């Protein structure tokens, strides 16, 4: 921003507007928000940081200058040729043993330089469990169990440090401790830390020597009614009180491991749901060796409360959750249930190693010959007792793979099958199964073990990650999670009891004098005015109470499209000509029905030029596009056989490259239209076709006079959506691809001299991940409700849109400034005037990112407006959010209502009091009909506006009306059309870039150049070169994407809603 002379803005939110007044009806709604009563005495709560370390060697006396750790000790168990007791892949943080002890028990650490120095010790092999990086659910759960064991033991042994009731001390099982009383270090306030060294024993980490715990003072918080966490100045917010309330309300779950499994961010699951009156009907069986875990997501939030504006209350939010977990079973059984092996555990031919790894890699597993621990006696160890699956080798089996190992001092060379039979007395049932690859050891000395699938057991309490969820599993999970409001309220109440937030209340809360109001907060929702839907010649259609509307026969689209040159292509799975011949009549009938309906809607859709079939290969698809381009076909209509899953992304890439608009229809949908005469489905198909051909289905009007100007042609609406690569907003991965090659060459490397080893090429980091995609949409066309869009690329997992956008060698400027100036230019060209108001809906933004948006994004938008001459144009910036935990549903539900739409809040109801934030200008607005389950009503926050005339009523009515502009179905969307459409453009950009990276030669040349360039770097500069080149490589690829596969240079496609 400095390079472009743009000053950041202060991170100050606008003042909370007065609630809206307009209403066409009221509805009392219930929330899942439970108020917290805090003590009137405003007690001081003391905060500490805790470090837990394990000593793996004896403590010896020594001076401070001699204190050191036994660096280099590998905390990872090596195993024995694939049969040892396995564990995960945590990194240990080794510490020097500098610290204080008296008689090996405890001693205070004083912050003053002239304090009397006690007798020092040296601790060898000290492993810092607190700082060790862990990944994966199994590791998180096991680490929490270790910390819980240490904490309970420490409280029991050190009553002089932790006097009184043990429920007065709160530990998040990570690194934060709160205490109602100052810990008994020594009397001096200058004491900043306490070190506690505990002896191990048969029931307390027997494989270790000592457990070393350090507690350090970290301040305090006053538990009162008002808190600095509520502030318009986002830089002045202090969330200490909220953090304490989060931890104290989590203690019952954290310290009841027989009932709860707790993950981060307040997510916990019940181990025995039946204890809280959940029934078998609540626990749904899932396919592929998975099951549904019943749990909750608890969080603490500040809200106005029942007394409304100017009041600030803390409340706990409890949301019911259902999540798929991997069942504890052998990996062989898991693979069979996934359908990737036959009943003899042989790999099915249609699946390659990439598919096997997608299904199984990353799972944590136990050695079937171990009993879940390393020391063999069932006691917990500080080292994880499980392995992480690195991959599956389809070329090796227990029968064919042979290895060397020593037995009774003699070298043996046996197969895996022989090893288990002769040395472990286990006869393998599946000698032809693929072998599982397990990597163990430290990074530089990692080695690979090969396990039979049947000898590994999937560790329990592992959630099924998104990439491992098949369509079948997702479909069943959606049905399992579709809980109507009446049952949702009942289940939330059960989770409140399970968390001991009420009846009975947790002793941790009792000691802190905190109580939870037993009934959830209820508020009034107001019904806004429904918009009117307009078709050609201003033919009006009224919206019903479910947000939908009917269209009479022969009602024309407001802008009907025409197409004289289109073709139909059927993509098969290779079933042959006979199969296609059977589908030909269905395809012809579909096109006939489309043409007939198109004519009744005012469209001019000629008969298709031809109908052809192609196999599901990229080459065949590319060849089809070439033929269509040669014949000047403007619209390519595809019907894809329902079992073909690999062609859609490639189709959208070729659409961009050949500039031929495409529409992809599943063959099952075609059968429903033709065979089952589903006219509404056909209507939806045709509405999408009209949009793709440049038409517009309907417009919107607000009949209430006070709101009519909200949708006037001089207002520009812009939506932004985000799509991040798999894994979300994370840092770069830490496993190097070159590690595979390095492992293979290890034997040769060990023979080299020390001088030669100085110049060996070490494994380097991976290439940069795929980019993040910014989708955008705006009503910058001739018609005020013609929303078109585009997508651009920026560095991966960055949410703020401040990246530099380079569309050519001579043009580069901030991404956000570029796209806003482009949209305003297009708006002025089509409307012949500049916008008087600009309203931006920006998705994919949490409350924690509001400051970055205000500081960086708003100034870039204002700079773009200034450059375009919009000096007097008013700007409003609104953030919609569907990823919150608030649930709102009618307080009184008709007992005869069975279906979800009858039980949920109807479209048009808004809530802007009680459950909203005390200072942030926010409201909850339901604009859609919930077809199943309980509605997730979006929350909207106005984080910037300089339009003083914009009232709460205006913002809410405008937001609601814009939900009717999507055009593809005759019902509103859950969020306004600009941001909803922008999200779909972001998804389109992801599909296109995925296909581009796997097929484009220029991209592969850039990739290979930077991989080779780093390989040529000498050993000394290798890491520095990687850091520099990884940045250059990422930017080079992003520049390529933005110049070749966005719609910026494809105006024909950009003017049409190709993402429809």
CA distances from 786 to 618, 981, 985 (A): 33, 11, 15
pLDDT in tens, 616-640: 999 999 999 999 999 999 999 999 9
pLDDT in tens, 385-414: 999 999 999 999 999 999 998 888 899 999
> Regarding predicted confidence, which is higher, 127 or 982?
982
* Per-residue model confidence (pLDDT) at position 1: 65
pLDDT in tens, 947-995: 999 999 999 999 999 999 999 999 999 999 999 999 999 999 999 999 9
Cα-based angle 228, 232, 235 (whole degrees, multiple of 5): 70
Q: Residue 334: which pLDDT band, with cuts at 50, 70 and 90? A: very high
Q: Residue 69: which pLDDT band, with cuts at 50, 70 and 90? A: very low
> How many Å separate Cα 489 from the centre of its chain?
26
* Per-residue model confidence (pLDDT) at position 766: 66
Q: Residue 192: which pLDDT band, with cuts at 50, 70 and 90? A: confident
pLDDT in tens, 419-431: 999 999 999 999 9
Is residue 246 within 8 Å of 45, Cβ to Cβ?
A: no
Beta bridge partners, 452, equal 435
The Cα diameter of the chain in Å comes to 95
Is residue 303 within 8 Å of 292, Cβ to Cβ?
A: no
CB proximity list for 22: less than 8 A, separation 6 or greater = 526, 528, 529, 704, 706, 953, 957
Instruction: State mean pLDDT over 182-192.
Output: 69
Question: If DSSP codes are grouped into helix, strand and coil, which group holds residue 63?
Answer: coil
CA distances from 346 to 330, 336, 453, 707 (A): 15, 9, 11, 67
* Crossing angle (nearest 10°) for helices 1022-1044 and 977-999: 120
Query: Is pLDDT at 335 greater than 50 in this prediction?
Result: yes
CA distances from 1000 to 1032, 1037, 1051 (A): 19, 11, 22
Query: Is pLDDT at 515 greater than 90 in this prediction?
Result: yes
Is residue 126 within 8 Å of 94, Cβ to Cβ?
A: yes
Cα(946)–Cα(966) distance, integer angstroms: 28
* Per-residue model confidence (pLDDT) at position 191: 63
Query: Is pLDDT at 743 greater than 60 in this prediction?
Result: no
- Number of Cβ within 10 Å of residue 791's Cβ equals 29
- Token readout for 448 is 């690979």
> Regarding predicted confidence, which is higher, 185 or 180?
180
Instruction: State mean pLDDT over 181-205.
Output: 81
Select from 884, 885, 882, 887 the least CA-distant residue to 489.
887
Q: Residue 577: which pLDDT band, with cuts at 50, 70 and 90? A: low
Phi, psi of 415 (to 5 degrees): -80, 165
Q: Residue 66: which pLDDT band, with cuts at 50, 70 and 90? A: very low
Select from 874, 863, 776 the least CA-distant residue to 834.
874
Cα(933)–Cα(931) distance, integer angstroms: 7
> How many Å separate Cα 549 from the centre of its chain?
35
Query: Is pLDDT at 104 greater than 60 in this prediction?
Result: no
* Per-residue model confidence (pLDDT) at position 761: 41
* Torsion of the alpha carbons at 199, 203, 204 and 207, rounded to the nearest 10: 90
Query: Is pLDDT at 746 greater than 80 in this prediction?
Result: no
Burial class (CB in 10 A: 0-12, 13-18, 19+), 473: middle
If you count them, how many residues does the chain have? 1060
Query: Is pLDDT at 690 greater than 70 in this prediction?
Result: yes
3-state secondary structure 861-885: HHHHHHHCCCCCCEEEEEEEECCCC
Is residue 197 within 8 Å of 101, Cβ to Cβ?
A: yes
* Residue 195 half-sphere exposure toward CB, CA atoms < 13 A: 20
pLDDT in tens, 2-50: 666 788 899 999 988 899 999 999 999 999 999 999 998 889 999 999 9
Query: Is pLDDT at 553 greater than 60 in this prediction?
Result: yes
Q: Which parts of 405-501 fold into alpha helices (H)?
A: 416-423, 471-481, 485-498
Q: What is the DSSP string of 531-573?
A: PEEEEGGGEEE---TTS-----TTPPPSB--EES-EEEEEEES
Is residue 882 within 8 Å of 859, Cβ to Cβ?
A: no
Looking at residue 120, the DSSP 8-state letter turns out to be B
* Per-residue model confidence (pLDDT) at position 8: 87
* Per-residue model confidence (pLDDT) at position 376: 40
pTM here is 0.87
Is residue 545 within 8 Å of 906, Cβ to Cβ?
A: yes
- Token readout for 871 is 């000096």
Is residue 976 within 8 Å of 787, Cβ to Cβ?
A: no
Cα(920)–Cα(918) distance, integer angstroms: 6
Q: Which domains does the chain have, with CATH numbers?
A: 232-322+487-514 (no CATH), 328-459 (2.170.260.10), 560-695 (3.40.50.2300), 701-727+764-1054 (3.30.420.10)
> Regarding predicted confidence, which is higher, 589 or 72?
589
* Per-residue model confidence (pLDDT) at position 364: 97
Cα(732)–Cα(737) distance, integer angstroms: 13
- % of the chain residues with pLDDT over 70: 84
- Token readout for 825 is 């230019």
> Regarding predicted confidence, which is higher, 742 or 711?
711
């Amino acid at each position: 921003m400095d390079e472009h002379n743009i000053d950041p803005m202060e991170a100050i939110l606008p003042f909370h507007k007065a609630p809206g007044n307009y209403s066409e009806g009221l509805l009392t709604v219930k929330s899942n928000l439970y108020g917290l009563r805090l003590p009137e005495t405003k007690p001081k709560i003391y905060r500490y940081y805790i470090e837990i370390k394990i000593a793996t060697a004896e403590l010896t006396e020594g001076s401070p200058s001699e204190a050191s750790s036994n660096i280099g000790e590998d905390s990872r168990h090596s195993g024995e040729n694939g049969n040892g007791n396995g564990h995960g892949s945590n990194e240990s943080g080794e510490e020097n043993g500098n610290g204080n002890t008296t008689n090996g028990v405890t001693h205070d650490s004083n912050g003053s330089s002239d304090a009397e120095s006690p007798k020092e010790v040296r601790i060898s092999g000290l492993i810092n469990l607190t700082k060790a990086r862990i990944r994966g659910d199994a590791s998180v759960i096991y680490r929490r169990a270790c910390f819980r064991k240490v904490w309970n033991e420490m409280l029991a042994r050190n009553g002089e440090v932790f006097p009184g009731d043990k429920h007065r001390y709160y530990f998040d099982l990570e690194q934060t401790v709160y205490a109602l009383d100052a810990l008994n270090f020594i009397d001096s306030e200058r004491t900043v830390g306490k070190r506690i060294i505990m002896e191990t024993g048969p029931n307390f980490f027997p494989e270790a020597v000592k457990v070393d715990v350090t507690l350090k003072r970290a301040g305090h918080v006053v538990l009162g009614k008002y808190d600095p966490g509520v502030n318009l100045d986002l830089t002045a917010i202090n969330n200490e009180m909220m953090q304490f309330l989060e931890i104290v309300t989590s203690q019952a779950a954290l310290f009841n491991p027989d009932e709860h499994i707790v993950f981060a961010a307040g997510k916990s699951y019940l181990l025995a749901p039946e204890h809280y009156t959940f029934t078998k009907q609540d626990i749904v069986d899932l396919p592929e060796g998975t099951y549904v875990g019943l749990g909750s997501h608890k969080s603490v939030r500040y809200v106005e409360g029942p007394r409304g504006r100017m009041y600030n209350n803390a409340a706990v939010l409890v949301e019911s959750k259902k999540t798929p977990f991997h069942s504890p079973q052998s990996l062989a059984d898991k693979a069979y249930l996934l359908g990737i092996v036959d009943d003899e555990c042989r790999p099915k031919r249609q699946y390659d190693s990439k598919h096997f790894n997608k299904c199984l890699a990353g799972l944590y597993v136990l050695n079937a010959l171990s009993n879940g621990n390393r020391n063999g006696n069932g006691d917990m160890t500080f080292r994880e007792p499980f392995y992480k699956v690195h991959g599956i080798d389809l070329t090796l089996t227990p029968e064919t793979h042979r290895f060397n190992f020593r037995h009774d001092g003699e070298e043996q060379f046996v197969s895996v099958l022989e090893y288990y039979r002769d040395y472990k007395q286990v006869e393998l049932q599946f000698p032809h199964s693929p072998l599982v690859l397990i990597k163990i050891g430290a990074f530089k000395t990692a080695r690979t073990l090969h396990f039979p699938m049947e000898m590994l057991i999937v560790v329990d309490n592992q959630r099924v990650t998104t990439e491992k969820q098949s369509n079948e599993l997702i479909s069943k999970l959606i049905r399992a999670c579709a809980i109507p409001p009446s049952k949702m309220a009942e289940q939330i109440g059960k989770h409140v009891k399970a968390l001991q937030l009420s009846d009975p209340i947790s002793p941790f809360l009792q000691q802190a004098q905190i109580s939870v109001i037993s009934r959830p907060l209820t508020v009034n929702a107001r019904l806004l005015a429904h918009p009117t839907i307009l078709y050609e010649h201003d033919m009006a259609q009224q919206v019903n109470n479910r947000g939908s509307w009917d269209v009479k026969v022969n009602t024309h689209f407001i802008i009907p499209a025409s197409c004289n040159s289109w073709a139909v292509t059927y993509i098969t799975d290779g079933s042959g000509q006979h199969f296609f011949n059977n589908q030909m009549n269905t395809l012809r009938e579909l096109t006939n029905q489309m043409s007939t309906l198109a004519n009744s809607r005012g469209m001019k859709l000629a008969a298709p030029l031809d109908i052809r079939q192609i196999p599901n290969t990229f080459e065949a698809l590319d060849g089809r596009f070439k033929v269509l381009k040669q014949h000047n076909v403007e619209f390519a209509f595809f019907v894809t056989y329902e079992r073909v899953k690999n062609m859609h992304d490639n189709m959208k890439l070729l659409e961009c490259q050949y500039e031929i608009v495409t529409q992809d229809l599943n063959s099952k949908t075609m059968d429903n239209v033709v065979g089952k005469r589903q006219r509404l489905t056909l209507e939806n198909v045709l509405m999408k076709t009209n949009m793709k051909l440049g038409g517009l289905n309907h417009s919107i009007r607000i009949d209430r006079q006070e709101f009519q100007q909200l949708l006037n042609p001089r207002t520009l609406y812009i939506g932004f959506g985000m799509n991040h690569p798999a894994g979300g907003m994370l840092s770069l991965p830490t496993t190097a691809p070159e590690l595979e090659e390095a492992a293979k060459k290890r034997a040769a490397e060990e023979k080299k001299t020390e001088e030669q080893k100085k110049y060996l090429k070490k494994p380097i980091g991976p290439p940069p991940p795929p980019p993040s995609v910014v989708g955008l949409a705006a009503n910058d066309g001739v018609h005020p409700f013609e929303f078109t869009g585009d997508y651009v690329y920026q560095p991966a997992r960055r949410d703020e849109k401040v990246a530099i956008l380079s569309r050519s060698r001579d043009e580069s400027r901030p991404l956000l400034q570029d796209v806003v100036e482009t949209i305003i230019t297009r708006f002025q060209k089509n409307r012949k005037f500049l916008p008087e108001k600009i309203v931006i809906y920006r998705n994919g933004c949490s409350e924690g990112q509001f400051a970055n948006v205000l500081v960086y994004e708003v100034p870039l938008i204002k700079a773009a407006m200034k450059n375009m001459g919009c000096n007097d144009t008013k700007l409003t910036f609104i953030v919609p959010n569907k990823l919150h935990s608030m649930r709102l549903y009618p307080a009184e539900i008709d007992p005869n209502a069975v279906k979800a739409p009858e039980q949920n809040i109807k479209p048009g109801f808004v809530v802007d009091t009680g459950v909203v934030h005390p200072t942030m200008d926010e409201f909850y607005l339901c604009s859609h009909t919930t077809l199943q389950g309980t509605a997730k009503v979006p929350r909207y926050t106005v984080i910037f506006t300089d339009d003083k005339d914009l009232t709460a009523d205006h913002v809410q009515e405008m937001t609601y009306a814009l939900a009717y502009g999507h055009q593809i179905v005759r019902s509103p969307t859950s969020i306004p059309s600009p941001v909803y459409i922008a999200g779909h453009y972001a998804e389109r950009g992801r599909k296109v870039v995925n296909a581009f990276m796997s097929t484009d030669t220029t991209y592969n040349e850039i990739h290979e150049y930077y991989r080779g360039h780093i390989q040529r770097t000498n050993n000394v500069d290798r890491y520095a070169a990687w850091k520099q080149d990884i940045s250059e490589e990422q930017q080079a690829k992003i520049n390529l994407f933005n110049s070749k596969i966005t719609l910026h240079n494809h105006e024909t496609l950009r003017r049409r809603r190709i993402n429809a």
